[in-house]
Amino acid sequence: MSMAAIQVVRSEWTKIRSVASTVWTLSIAVVVTLALGMLISALSKSEFDNLSRNERLSFDPTFISFAGMTLGQLAMIVFGVLVVSNEYSTGMIRTSLAAVPQRGTFLFSKIAVATGLALVVGMVTSFATFVLGQAMLGSHRASISDQGVLRAVIGGGLYMTLIAVFSMGVAAMLRSPMLSLGILMPFFFLISNILGNVPATRKVGRFLPDQAGSRIMQVVTPVDDDTPYGPWGGLGIMLLWVLAALVGGYAVLKRRDA
């Protein structure tokens, strides 16, 4: 890496550190994921004796502890959007591009720094929510040494990271925090769930980034599951969505004026 590129990376790190909203959104992602994961795990323990035979066979203590990521990922979406689009909303993008005219270097330095930060937060959150969730499950808990569990926990951190990076790519394309959040929030919180739960659209919904990526966090395959890909296949599908968003973001930045 050249000295110029290193200086750009340092500059982007300073920008991210100095914006309070990005720090707050990462903090919220951690707290919400841990709190909701513990709550759902505790409720699952209390309801275990009432489960049917098939429900017990599909009981996945590891995946249950990640229940909080449903809301925690929304904070990661906000983080990803703000990292990229804050400069557009404040008009600082003109100054930044004047200082770093190589637009590819500018964009991917920003995304690289934010991805590294999201990865650290995602991994810490994933391991913490697993440990706390299993503590709530008591005798029904899983161990990190059980087959597939470590993969699922590491996958949880990767999932949170990729959600943030996907949001960065979309924000780079749309260049507006309000527009980006106005599309991403309903997409992940409503549309994806609807498509995934309606029988007519379920086969389409399973190829959306969140539904495919969350497969990496599953250890126990449900009895009636017919998903045509496994944990790593699902993460691979999510990665393709992320790459498409980043390519789109770069194309928009390269062709349009700030």
Give the total number of structural domains in the chain.
Answer: 1
Over residues 39-49, the pLDDT tens digits come to 999 999 998 88
Over residues 156-188, the pLDDT tens digits come to 999 999 999 999 999 999 988 899 999 999 999
pLDDT beyond 80 at 190: yes
pTM: 0.91
3 state SS for 120-143: HHHHHHHHHHHHHHHHHHHHHCCC
Over residues 132-162, the pLDDT tens digits come to 999 999 999 999 999 999 999 999 999 999 9
CA 154 to chain centre: 13
Higher pLDDT, 51 or 86: 51
